[in-house]
Structure 1
Amino acid sequence: MSSFRNAGLFLLLSFLWGTSFMAIKAGLEFMPPVLFAAFRYDLAAVGMLGYAAYATDYWRPRSQADWTVVGISAILIIAFYNTFLFVGQQGVTSGVAAILIAMNPILATGFSRLLLPSEQLGAVESVGLFVGFLGVGLVARPTSSGVLAADLLAPGFVLLAAVCVALGSVLIQRVDGGLPAEGMVAWSTAFGAILLHAMSLALPSESMADITVTTEAVVTLVYLAVFASAVGYVIYFDLLDRLGAIEINLVSYTVPIFAALSGWLVLSESVDVLSAVGFAMIFGGFVLLKRGALGEKVDWL
């Protein structure tokens, strides 16, 4: 019964995080990108702080290491990640954005080999890293005859988002604070929202006057804040305890499926064959990088 429950929660998490890419794309019609991200995490912070206070007694940062971890996460995983993702999604489909973000586990492995002395990159792992980047090249390839900066700008921003979250996760591991994940994510969300507002104010292209308040805009914002963020992270923490980090990382490779399907159904988007091949190569690179851990953790391997 437990395995069915875990599978159901895994699929639900994949659905919530996959459809969030479609919701971001839809919401960008009504709000400037960075301000949109800030509003999302304003609402999400309230729910996450409440959940953290309920779930654990140790939910507030107590040490310098705790505050360092919160700061890294707020800057890289919330503020920079969402700035690059929301800006980049103005120029790519929901499915392509999710595929590029799926590079996160591969990038995190690469950063860990560089920044964590105990980690080493072998020959097979190096091939996996290379295959993953080849997959990115297929997904983010220029669509015009010339390789122009403008042609690669949007997918480049989305890939930078994946770089930020991967680097942030490795730096957090390097600091090794004692704050539980629930508290870390909650406080990071709150401070990250403040940073996003500051970044939006600093951008001349963003203004409150550019917001169009409609039912669709409100529904999109609430869905992202409540379901994709707050509910999604509650499910994530539950599965992390039950499955472990390796198996839960596989969600990165089911999310693009739901992103592409929801983008097609709601926004009439499509993912071409080369992008699908690129996604398969990114997943293959992940398997090569994590083949040992996957063999131990995932029964069907």
Structure 2
Amino acid sequence: MKLTYAAFAFLGLLWGSNFTYMKWAAALISPAQITLLRVFFGFLPLAFAAWHAGAIDRRQLRYLPHFLVMAIVATAFYYFAIVKGTALLPSGVAGVLGGSIALFTAVASLLVLRTERLNRLMAVGVACGFAGIVLIARPWEGADRSIDLAGVIWMVAGAAVLGLSYVYVRRFLSPANLPPLALSTWQIGLALPVLLLLTDFTGIGRILQDWHAAIGVAVGLGVLGTGAAFLIYYYLVQELGAVAASGSTYITPIVALLIGWATGEKVGMLEVAAVVLILGSIAMLQIGRQRALRETAGVQHPDGRRRAP
């Protein structure tokens, strides 16, 4: 059990530090180039693990169109969007906004999946989450903005797209009962040729001018922050269950904000309040969803009353 909790904390640390690595690399190469390098180095450990576990099967080719959708939307675009947003924002602020994925997943589930029911606690959670995003964006500021609104839009777009992708998986891929490792390997692997076709390689060698940035992208962002993070996450899902494993998203924005503060970024009351609101919204959405599921799972008495099964 100690190993499980250590893995839980390590996953939050990996995801939270990703924003710092993106910030370093963004000073040297383009967001598209960073995305390509991240996917390439992240694919290596996933491909090895999938081969070692025998997770890839020829019969999975029937789901290739769905894998391609996930590769383009949930990998290529999502990674590009958060790199683009992080390049325009302080890394700590980007990390806080990156923690809003669960919020958009819940909203997308409520809008698309008929099995999801909105209750009062979930509604309050959604409101708190968007309030946290507004605090980060600071729309009341004038021309001398301290936060780049375009960066906020890129981060929110990435979180929203990834949230929708979870709903897509539940609707089209979950019924197939594919191993999570297989789905991730197909998703990351197919994103690689897409990015190779779309990325301009001009100046990509500049990343080698700064070994901190080069190692940060290859090892920190790729091998650890993408490949190893996927593997650790699936280990936690197996040991703790999906709901408990998703709690690592609570750690990510806090880690990102602390790293940003330690490297000289300004962290004020607005940032802290935004973290509290976004993390609080995630907690309320998870608790509210579990309550809704318990209510839906109730069975009918012959006289029409409901009781727990």
User: Could you say which TM-score interval applies, normalised by the shorter chain?
Assistant: 0.7 to 0.9
Distance 1:194 1:11 in 2: 33
SS of structure 1 residue aligned to 2:208: coil
Q: Which residue number in structure 2 is paired with residue 13 of structure 1? A: 11
Q: Which residue number in structure 2 is paired with residue 33 of structure 1? A: 31
Q: Please, which of 37, 47, 55 is the counterpart of residue 58 of structure 1?
A: 55
Shift of 1:162: 0.5
Structure-to-structure mapping, 1:179-198, within 5 angstroms: 179-198=178-197
Structure-to-structure mapping, 1:259-278, within 5 angstroms: 259-265=256-262, 267-278=263-274
Deviation track 1:60-86 (CA, whole Å, cap 9, x = no partner) reads 462466324422321121111011111
Q: Please, which of 199, 203, 206 is the counterpart of residue 211 of structure 1?
A: 206
Distance 2:250 2:75 in 1: 21
Q: Please, which of 77, 83, 86 is the counterpart of residue 83 of structure 2?
A: 86
The residue identity in structure 1 corresponding to 2:206 is I
State TM-score, norm by structure 1: 0.87
Deviation track 1:92-120 (CA, whole Å, cap 9, x = no partner) reads 11111111111111110111111111111
Distance 2:204 2:113 in 1: 46
Distance 2:204 2:52 in 1: 38
The residue identity in structure 1 corresponding to 2:250 is Y
The residue identity in structure 2 corresponding to 1:5 is L
Are residues 1:115 and 2:112 paired?
A: yes
Deviation track 1:24-64 (CA, whole Å, cap 9, x = no partner) reads 11111121111111011112112211111112x33246246
Q: Please, which of 97, 101, 105 is the counterpart of residue 100 of structure 1?
A: 97
SS of structure 1 residue aligned to 2:199: helix
The answer to whether the 8 Å contact 1:138/1:274 transfers is yes
Residues 52/29 of structure 1: CA separation in 2 closer, same or farther (3 Å cut)? same
Distance 2:62 2:99 in 1: 29
Shift of 1:147: 9.6
The residue identity in structure 1 corresponding to 2:213 is A
Greater Cα shift, 77-86 or 66-75 = 66-75
Q: Which residue number in structure 1 is paired with residue 67 of structure 2? A: 70
Distance 1:93 1:280 in 2: 18
Distance 2:227 2:124 in 1: 36
Distance 2:261 2:75 in 1: 27
Residues 64/187 of structure 1: CA separation in 2 closer, same or farther (3 Å cut)? closer
The residue identity in structure 1 corresponding to 2:196 is H
Greater Cα shift, 244-253 or 160-169 = 244-253
The answer to whether the 8 Å contact 1:88/1:157 transfers is yes
The residue identity in structure 2 corresponding to 1:67 is L
Q: Which residue number in structure 1 is paired with residue 159 of structure 2? A: 162
The residue identity in structure 2 corresponding to 1:207 is T
Greater Cα shift, 176-185 or 164-173 = 176-185
The answer to whether the 8 Å contact 2:55/2:181 transfers is no
Deviation track 1:182-211 (CA, whole Å, cap 9, x = no partner) reads 11111211211222333333xxxx733673
Distance 1:273 1:199 in 2: 40
Residues 209/132 of structure 1: CA separation in 2 closer, same or farther (3 Å cut)? closer
Distance 2:51 2:157 in 1: 32
Q: Which residue number in structure 1 is paired with residue 302 of structure 2? A: none
The answer to whether the 8 Å contact 1:129/1:289 transfers is yes
Shift of 1:290: 1.7
Are residues 1:247 and 2:244 paired?
A: yes
Considering only aligned residues, what root-mean-square deviation do their CA atoms show, in Å?
2.3
Max Rg structure: 2
Q: Which residue number in structure 2 is paired with residue 298 of structure 1? A: none
Residues 9/209 of structure 1: CA separation in 2 closer, same or farther (3 Å cut)? closer
The residue identity in structure 1 corresponding to 2:124 is V
In the comparison of the two structures, how many residue pairs are matched? 287
Distance 1:212 1:229 in 2: 19
5+ unaligned residues in a row in structure 1: which ranges? 296-301
